[in-house]
Structure 1
């Protein structure tokens, strides 16, 4: 950068090429912002030096002797610098900044010098702003404004926070300088050697007419990963307790100019508990119903839209029913109505008119307004449930949403083929990250609205640098980190406003699902954002209605192959459970439960922990395998078949809590057995067994046969795994047994006749011996001739 010749630095208007959608032109900016945030120490301990050594500056500090644990892990010295106030600096005002030095090295920093510099040129484009905050190499820090002594040493893992006021004369800006973002840098030197340099920004204002940037902000309200599709009561109690995840999220955004994107699983999980729901959860849901925020739903369980589409789900999944999880006894008496909160912050009014001098160009980082009125809930914000009656599935999910056709896929994962699935699923508007867009050489930031080709509606592209700064501020753990992030957020918006002084731009910033900002810091951030005179609140509907960006187009991306493969396994198992359920008398009892499980396991919350996700999927697959084997054949064999026609008994088991109807198909492995009759249909009562008899005919030959038993549902779907029963066939044993029996019968009677003959001979011999008379041979009678 080249210094200006005049002490009144900075041009009146931008002349150099400026960035448009810095997240498009400089795609690594969000990453660099994250790196900067990671380098900023998270603790505030250390020492503070004493009075300044320059008459031109007043520096104050507060010592904190305890070393920070996080500082020691950086292994280097870091410096951050930010304005004390977000109010723009005006002509004649001193510049108050906070400089924070963190000693992450193993050596003590001896008393050195802090030098404050002002960037040589105004930051008139987003690319210039990014280059200043995240330089690729160390360059000239600017024009020296102030040199201040650091009188005390900084021990390893220690920090020093110094408040410095630079007189307006040393700042060198006058009313002749154009309003907008300015760069500042702070350098810490030791014995003439530069140890570290930090950069920041502030906004200069010279009474120009400012056109505020219309900025819509979207906040997702979600819960950590679930495995069953309904949040347990104990978890709900934890999440909605004071300081709980859901309480922090709602406390920070309720009744502010922030659009809420909520997971419908939260609403259904509270309502389905009836009068057994935790009191804190009921009160939380009541507050949400009374909120003035625009609200639109995420997918149920915040199931990943692109993962479903690319895993060939065919359509976006929705819950089938909640009847299987409803308990009538939980609705015997009405649930007590929650007491509306009387201390919910309301947004600070901000200017919305175009072309007028911005009101409120003062520091409004503290929001002291309260909501003392009791708002009337929207007429359909709660379901029409008659006390003492069990609600329907539709009533459990009912809500007075501002819009229901908005989809919010994970950033940078949407492919071109997904758009057809989203459109078929009723999503006519998408929220996309910058990675899903491509553009020509843009010089100014366009509107967030982009028209998608092929009749796929529109997309709202998030402004990545603004979103990154907003998220960093809302999750900051120290005041110093918050000041740095808010200064960058303020400057980002100011640059956009100054790009086209007379043209309103409508942008979109989002909080992400991975980081949950705390309630107090989130409220502080949003209050400070509302106080910026160059930002006007906007709704998502206004962003959708803004003129589309003509030079920005959709850029196809994709989910990782590993995640797609796992998702396909889940979807395939759901298909198996659906086919299995056709044998049941109440199929929704298992298909609806399986659908909720599938949606929970497809949640975007699993995307950052693939290891835990794989374990959860494996556990779900094991559970569903037990379900699929709950109807089975318990007959094991072997069975001996010794006749030509017999009935083989086959026992069927049903381990489910409802009756099932199956068809039994028996197929022999070879021709030794012939199965007769039609396919047998059997109904098995809940938790019982039934034996059916299968007629078979022995054919030719003896040997082993295996009967393959397959169960089908009435509509022909296979139920469970086929079973195999070994059979021993002795087809000729019946004829052989008859021959043997006949032979034995002949022998038996022949032996009896022989014994009778022998007995009579013995009897005659015995009589003759007893009388001692000779035994004369018998005499034949005389022959008488016929006459």
Structure 2
């Protein structure tokens, strides 16, 4: 560990400090408690977190003045905890004490030499002589507490506490420590990472590049990779950013153990508690593939397909996997289009595919059955999910009803994460000292038993940890700790003093997740009307997994908004095929064909079944109809209707169904007025008109004939009379 360059006050012990002053209790000094005071102070070993007999204790005290006024010249008192920190509880109480906790024995007091300006910070270098420390080789090996108190005008402005490990040369039992680093991207509402985002993430200073840089080829650091990253790069084909392709190639050469997270790092416990019987996974990427991006270049040699490689249980920098024997593969013709399958896009040479990593402290016992049904036989738990009945720290491995559990040590993980995320050398040493002390306590609490622990890095908010390699190297350099692989943690003896403790996710979050799962099922039923359902169901599945990302855990409000937007979008999708005919319609006659118009607003043809149900018995409706509606078009269907009983109003409820009987939305009402007797009335009127017409014609004929006969008779009489009066010739 490097010595921090001091750009602040250099202090030396005050000679002639009386014994009474050295042992003055803290209670004799007034403590400032006003809210206006916000002064931070931290303390760490300058060179190392380990101290041996005869060595001076070199300390760095950092003071941060967060107030709006300068801190006048005062003094810094340095204390040593009365007792060794032999338990984890004692360490926690020392580092995060109650307000009136004892600070131990005062070792020395040094004055500050100048005021600390408002908003400024300063680092103070303090040396505690070995003689003032009061520890010898007769003192037990283990963690010790040290405190620094800043006092100004007899008012305590701040107190900081730290630790170091007293190491008189006693034999120790090293703690075996495995570790896991997640490689993920920030949360998103869509199931594929865009080319632009990938280019940014995989640039030389991008998030994914820095994450991989921090862990690649650390033989005892396992990588938990989000498969979404791999698929998002591959699905872009020849348009994938060069930096992303190079990043994927680097990952392929890593000697680390690698296992997959859920796609898009979807929270597996949230799925289980929301009602999923098995965990969701991508179904297809066909809708995202542009065939023109998968044309085999003209200069591509014919590849050789290797035989299947057996599952690898462990990969380290000292172990090589034998190369498989090449076997003849399919011939690839230059210029040919080779579309990758879903398996092709997700394929990776994982060390294991049976490890599940749910969100910390949110696993219920029923979740384990869902994990096992999905092929996950090893579950990574946090300390909050187990109950310990023994005073000694147990092994990480525990036996679960469905397989193996690996319990991440929450306190140790927090200290290691803080060290890896530290922005200054001093902050790194503060956190590293806590991690070293925790490991020392575990080593010393039961020297006859070798323990294997697990530390995990944070995945709730993906960030690159800049000091991972430095931190893990420091852990490996401790004489009381050994870094081991994840496989070694899995093979450790399961703890017998640990029982599973149920935890549950917030009910509001579970309710929203359940609505997403239910809606996905509804969309899958709806999609059966499509000529190609996968075009709808596969992006729906990917977006669902993205919304179940563990990174959303810390963004409840934003997540709820995205869930609402997703539900609204899928609602519109399922209402894209509608009945557009509206009433009122007048039906005249006992049998007619009613034409109903159906509209399809989707980009592909659909096949639906139309069912019409009358509100009363005035109309009888014929059989249901199966109709194909072309993309972005309307189609009219004829529904046979028969009038049954009298006249009146009827409401026809028109419902569209999938071919398997699932209704598409709510029934569409059509108001119909029935006039069934108008047909009889019309026929009677027509008959009367016909009879009248022909009757009138007959009557006219009769009258005409009578007139003709009358005229003939009159003409005959006139002729006879004329003959009577005419003289004979």
TM-score range, shorter chain: 0.7 to 0.9
Q: How far apart, in 2, do the equivalents of 1:734 and 1:712 lie? A: 34
Contact 1:75 1:106 in 2 (8 A): no
Contact 1:290 1:376 in 2 (8 A): no
Q: How far apart, in 1, do the equivalents of 2:36 and 2:215 lie? A: 34
Tell me how far 1:509 sits from its aligned partner: 0.7
Q: How many residue pairs align between the two structures?
A: 677
Structure 1 residue 279 and structure 2 residue 242: aligned?
Answer: yes
Q: Which residue of 2 aligns with 1:551?
A: 497
Residues 777 and 315 from structure 1, CA distance in 2 versus in 1: closer, same or farther, beyond 3 angstroms? farther
Alignment partner of 1:396 out of 335, 345, 356: 345
Contact 1:646 1:697 in 2 (8 A): yes
Partner SS state of residue 422, structure 2: coil
Q: How far apart, in 2, do the equivalents of 1:545 and 1:185 lie? A: 40
> C-alpha deviations, 1:233-272, integer Å up to 9, x for none?
1111121122222122111111112111111111111111
Q: How far apart, in 1, do the equivalents of 2:662 and 2:373 lie? A: 28
Residues 566 and 335 from structure 1, CA distance in 2 versus in 1: closer, same or farther, beyond 3 angstroms? farther
Contact 1:47 1:158 in 2 (8 A): no
Q: Which residue of 1 aligns with 2:609?
A: 663
Q: Which residue of 2 aligns with 1:289?
A: 252
Structure 1 residue 629 and structure 2 residue 575: aligned?
Answer: yes
List runs of 5+ in structure 2 lacking aligned partners. Answer: 18-33, 301-316, 722-729
Q: How far apart, in 1, do the equivalents of 2:252 and 2:35 lie? A: 45
Q: How far apart, in 2, do the equivalents of 1:513 and 1:88 lie? A: 31
Structure 1 residue 698 and structure 2 residue 647: aligned?
Answer: no
Structure 1 residue 452 and structure 2 residue 414: aligned?
Answer: no
Q: Which residue of 1 aligns with 2:596?
A: 650
Tell me how far 1:517 sits from its aligned partner: 4.5
Tell me how far 1:167 sits from its aligned partner: 2.0
Alignment partner of 1:120 out of 82, 85, 92: 82
Tell me how far 1:514 sits from its aligned partner: 2.1
Q: How far apart, in 1, do the equivalents of 2:560 and 2:485 lie? A: 38
Contact 2:460 2:550 in 1 (8 A): no
Contact 1:99 1:163 in 2 (8 A): yes
Q: Which residue of 1 aligns with 2:356?
A: 407
Structure 1 residue 719 and structure 2 residue 664: aligned?
Answer: yes
> C-alpha deviations, 1:613-672, integer Å up to 9, x for none?
111111111211222122222322333211221111222233333332222222111111
Tell me how far 1:377 sits from its aligned partner: 11
Q: Which residue of 2 aligns with 1:495?
A: 441
Partner SS state of residue 520, structure 1: coil
Alignment partner of 1:596 out of 496, 518, 542: 542
Contact 2:146 2:161 in 1 (8 A): yes
> C-alpha deviations, 1:263-305, integer Å up to 9, x for none?
1111111111111111111111111111111011111111111
Partner SS state of residue 228, structure 1: coil
Alignment partner of 1:236 out of 198, 211, 218: 198
Q: How far apart, in 2, do the equivalents of 1:778 and 1:722 lie? A: 91
> C-alpha deviations, 1:416-450, integer Å up to 9, x for none?
1112111111111111111111122x221111111
List runs of 5+ in structure 1 lacking aligned partners. Answer: 1-43, 58-71, 338-370, 780-787
Tell me how far 1:379 sits from its aligned partner: 7.0
Contact 1:46 1:159 in 2 (8 A): no
Tell me how far 1:105 sits from its aligned partner: 3.2
Q: How far apart, in 1, do the equivalents of 2:592 and 2:357 lie? A: 64
Contact 1:56 1:166 in 2 (8 A): no
Structure 1 residue 111 and structure 2 residue 77: aligned?
Answer: no
> C-alpha deviations, 1:59-116, integer Å up to 9, x for none?
xxxxxxxxxxxxx998422211011123521222221111011223344321011111
Residues 91 and 50 from structure 1, CA distance in 2 versus in 1: closer, same or farther, beyond 3 angstroms? closer
Tell me how far 1:118 sits from its aligned partner: 1.6
Contact 1:654 1:689 in 2 (8 A): yes
Q: Which residue of 2 aligns with 1:136?
A: 98
Tell me how far 1:491 sits from its aligned partner: 0.9
Q: How far apart, in 1, do the equivalents of 2:584 and 2:324 lie? A: 69
Q: How far apart, in 2, do the equivalents of 1:314 and 1:733 lie? A: 60
Q: How far apart, in 2, do the equivalents of 1:315 and 1:637 lie? A: 47
Residues 213 and 336 from structure 1, CA distance in 2 versus in 1: closer, same or farther, beyond 3 angstroms? farther
Structure 1 residue 145 and structure 2 residue 107: aligned?
Answer: yes
Q: Which residue of 2 aligns with 1:484?
A: 430
TM-score by length of 2: 0.86
Alignment partner of 2:208 out of 229, 241, 246: 246
Contact 1:629 1:720 in 2 (8 A): yes
Q: Which residue of 2 aligns with 1:347?
A: none
More displaced 10-residue stretch of structure 1: 593-602 or 629-638: 629-638
Partner SS state of residue 596, structure 2: strand
Residues 751 and 164 from structure 1, CA distance in 2 versus in 1: closer, same or farther, beyond 3 angstroms? same
Contact 1:579 1:718 in 2 (8 A): no
Structure 1 residue 318 and structure 2 residue 284: aligned?
Answer: no
Q: Which residue of 2 aligns with 1:565?
A: 511
Tell me how far 1:150 sits from its aligned partner: 0.2
Residues 147 and 560 from structure 1, CA distance in 2 versus in 1: closer, same or farther, beyond 3 angstroms? same
Q: How far apart, in 2, do the equivalents of 1:636 and 1:645 lie? A: 20
Structure 1 residue 308 and structure 2 residue 271: aligned?
Answer: yes
Partner SS state of residue 255, structure 2: coil
Residues 303 and 148 from structure 1, CA distance in 2 versus in 1: closer, same or farther, beyond 3 angstroms? same
Q: How far apart, in 1, do the equivalents of 2:589 and 2:555 lie? A: 63
Tell me how far 1:537 sits from its aligned partner: 0.9
Q: How far apart, in 1, do the equivalents of 2:618 and 2:398 lie? A: 72
Tell me how far 1:392 sits from its aligned partner: 1.0
Tell me how far 1:758 sits from its aligned partner: 8.3
Alignment partner of 2:141 out of 152, 175, 179: 179
> C-alpha deviations, 1:669-720, integer Å up to 9, x for none?
11111113x3222223333333221211112211222222222222222234
Partner SS state of residue 597, structure 2: strand
Q: How far apart, in 2, do the equivalents of 1:379 and 1:635 lie? A: 66
Contact 2:49 2:436 in 1 (8 A): no
TM-score by length of 1: 0.80
1:137-536 equivalence runs, <5 A:
137-256=99-218, 257-333=220-296, 388-440=337-389, 442-453=390-401, 456-536=402-482
Q: How far apart, in 1, do the equivalents of 2:188 and 2:83 lie? A: 51
> C-alpha deviations, 1:176-234, integer Å up to 9, x for none?
22322111111111123322211101112112222211001111111111222111111
Q: How far apart, in 2, do the equivalents of 1:276 and 1:333 lie? A: 13
Q: How far apart, in 2, do the equivalents of 1:729 and 1:532 lie? A: 93
Contact 1:319 1:596 in 2 (8 A): yes
Q: Which residue of 1 aligns with 2:560?
A: 614
Q: How far apart, in 1, do the equivalents of 2:6 and 2:682 lie? A: 104
Tell me how far 1:507 sits from its aligned partner: 0.2
Contact 1:629 1:721 in 2 (8 A): no
Q: How far apart, in 2, do the equivalents of 1:470 and 1:80 lie? A: 17
Q: How far apart, in 2, do the equivalents of 1:517 and 1:589 lie? A: 34
Q: How far apart, in 2, do the equivalents of 1:658 and 1:92 lie? A: 83
Q: Which residue of 2 aligns with 1:736?
A: 681
Q: How far apart, in 2, do the equivalents of 1:82 and 1:624 lie? A: 55
Q: How far apart, in 1, do the equivalents of 2:396 and 2:89 lie? A: 18
Partner SS state of residue 136, structure 1: coil
Contact 1:684 1:690 in 2 (8 A): yes
Tell me how far 1:749 sits from its aligned partner: 5.0
Contact 1:289 1:378 in 2 (8 A): no
Contact 2:75 2:152 in 1 (8 A): yes
Partner SS state of residue 164, structure 1: strand
1:677-688 equivalence runs, <5 A:
678-688=623-633
Q: How far apart, in 1, do the equivalents of 2:51 and 2:63 lie? A: 24
Partner SS state of residue 127, structure 2: strand
